[in-house]
Amino acid sequence: MAVSNYQDIINQIEVALSQIEGVGNVHPYFRIVKDDAQIREVYIDVDNTVNAWFISRTAIRDEQLTQYGNLVNWEVLIEGWLSVQDTKRSEIIFQETIDRIRDGFQPQTDLDDTLTKIELTRPIQATEIGAGMLDVIYCHHCILMMEVQILESSV
């Protein structure tokens, strides 16, 4: 029987991510918007800039540990977007934000202080950094991957 659930763990990652300097709007799932009002609500931060981050689980691997529980490894994707603003040197701002995220999510970072043990098992990986379009807005873009390990009790 799983002790942890998807939303609880993703919410813990969301809280930790949202506390990092330079990270704007954090969403615990990928958001798709249909109109200008939603773009403003979902993507635009207090500085009137696209600064949006999305979190999603991309893989699950179970390992039998003992009769008392299993280790469950999740691959978690964090996708970030920041609008390109050449005069503000947005490329440097974005790269520094990525570095702060990597510093904030290191192995052995315990995301949960309850009985369920949740920790990162390896450093967060920046698998893609570049530029792209978010709807109709040209942005800096990155994909970060992390592995989260959960000890799920079977009793």
100-133 tens-digit pLDDT: 999 988 765 556 554 445 677 888 999 999 999 9
- Say what the pLDDT of residue 113 is: 52
SS3 for 151?
strand
Amino acid, single-letter form, for residue 35: D
Inter-residue contact 55 to 29 (CB < 8 Å): yes
Out of 44-53, 55-64, 65-74, which region has the weakest mean confidence (pLDDT)?
65-74
CATH number of 57's domain: 3.30.2000.20
Residue 96 lies in a domain: yes
- Say what the pLDDT of residue 115 is: 41
Residue 11 lies in a domain: yes
Inter-residue contact 143 to 124 (CB < 8 Å): no
Amino acid, single-letter form, for residue 136: V
Residue 100 lies in a domain: yes
Per-residue model confidence as pLDDT tens digits over 4-35? 578 888 988 999 999 999 999 999 998 888 88
Domain boundaries, position 24 = 6-153
Residue 3 has pLDDT above 60, yes or no: no
Q: For the residues of 35-81, what is the DSSP string, one character each?
A: SHHHHHHHTB-TTSSBEEEEEEEEEEEEEEEETTEEEEEEEEEEEEE
Q: How many domains does the chain have?
A: 1
Residue 1 lies in a domain: no
Q: Which helix (H) or strand (E) holds 143?
A: strand 137-153
Q: How much is the average pLDDT of 86-107?
A: 92
Query: In angstroms, rounded to a whole number, what is the distance separating the alpha carbons of residues 129 and 69?
Result: 37
